[in-house]
Amino acid sequence: MRRLSAMWPCFGRALRRLHQRHSKVIAKAVCAHSSSRAFTDRCYDGLYPGHISTTPIQKALLAVGSGVAALQDPYRHDMVAVLGETTGHLALINLRNRMRNDPEGYTILIERPRIRLSTLDLSKMASLPDGSFGKEYLRFLEDNHVTPDSRVDVKFVDDEELAYVMQRYREVHDLLHTLLGMPTNMLGEVAVKWFEAAQTGLPMCALGAVLGPLRLNTRRLQKLVTSLGPWALKNGRQARCVLSIFYERRWEQSLEDLRQELNIEPPPLMLSASNKSSS
């Protein structure tokens, strides 16, 4: 009986501490958010525009939730993006170090180029000869009806430089399609994911590489397993870090030349964008 009565003050103190901690969290949120600056779209809290700071528990919940949502509906690119951000911390550090050790990669980290329609000179690229990297990239965008502006912004990476690395990885994805000669249908995407998984080590890519083939029909699965897959893995391992290339300054370079420089073999199978039926 005496022990019980001694417990209650301790319990009360613990409750009070918990309540104080929560009030501090909320008070901190109040201090962080309340500002008398006029709101514009450009002003932001956090380390970079669009950054949302999250606790480790929140990141874990986001990873699980976004994983489930992405599996249910693979067209939810924002969920794939969130999965990549919440699970890719170590892989991003690894990528950033590889970029730092490469002279061209280091330049990219300093200059921070962004691949957007507004930064591309489309008319100049269209006037380039066939077989040049810029021309082939433009052809890829037209054939597959995609645009470089559809990439989701990074939100949950808690380091400004790593957030840029993540953003660069997303923007380079389309260029990878061009380099590897893969269209944006399911088989092409899975092949690119296998390459990316081998190159970057991002868990999201690995997950996509494992679960993507489940949505392929037998004929395509056979193509993947017998020729495309092994080629993608081998080249992913042996190729130079694809994030370390300053693509914006290499539009005039021939595609074959660029592939050789990056140590990427041409694809064993030619897939056309017209193979865009659902698997």
Partner 1 sequence: MRVRPVKMAASVRQWARRVIRLSHTNITGASGGLSVRFDRCSAGSYCRCFGDAAEGKQTHFGFETVPEAEKAKRVYKVFENVAQKYDVMNDAMSLGIHRLWKDKLLHVMCPQPGARLLDVAGGTGDIAFRFLEYIRFQQERQRRRETRAVETPSWQELSTNYSTEDEDGPRESKAVVCDINKEMLKVGKQKADSMGLVSGLSWVVGDAEELPFDDEQFDIYTIAFGIRNVTRIDQALQEARRVLKPGGRFMCLEFSKVTNPVLASLYDAYSFQMIPILGEVIAGDWKSYQYLVESIRKFPDQERFKEMIEDAGFYCVQYHNLTGGVVALHSGFKL
Instruction: Please check if 173 is assigned to a binding site.
Output: yes
Closer residue to partner 1, CB minimum distance, 83 or 191: 83
Does the footprint of partner 1 cover residue 124 (CB under 8 A)?
no
Among 4, 5, 8, 55, binds partner 1 (CB under 8 A): 55
Residue 5 to residues 17, 37, 62: CA-CA distances in angstroms?
19, 52, 42
Instruction: Please check if 256 is assigned to a binding site.
Output: no
Does the footprint of partner 1 cover residue 260 (CB under 8 A)?
no
Question: How far, in Å, CA of 218 to CA of 197, rounded?
Answer: 23
Among 7, 13, 24, 35, binds partner 1 (CB under 8 A): 35
CB of 34 to partner 1, least distance (A): 5
**Buried b or exposed e, range 198-214, using 16+ CB within 10 angstroms:** bbbbbbbbbbbbeebbe
SS3 233: helix
**Buried b or exposed e, range 5-19, using 16+ CB within 10 angstroms:** eeeeeeeeeeeeeee
Task: Candidates 49-57, 115-123, 173-181, 238-246: pick the segment binding partner 1 (CB under 8 A).
Answer: 49-57
Does the footprint of partner 1 cover residue 78 (CB under 8 A)?
yes
What DSSP character marks residue 113?
Answer: -
Cβ atoms < 10 Å from Cβ of 183: 21
Task: Candidates 35-43, 95-103, 184-192, 229-237: pick the segment binding partner 1 (CB under 8 A).
Answer: 35-43
SS3 254: strand
Instruction: Please check if 177 is assigned to a binding site.
Output: yes
What residue has token string 């990056």?
Answer: 262
Q: Interface residues with partner 1 (CB under 8 A)? A: 15, 18-19, 22, 25-27, 29-36, 38-39, 52, 55, 57-58, 61-62, 65-66, 68-69, 76, 78-79, 82, 155
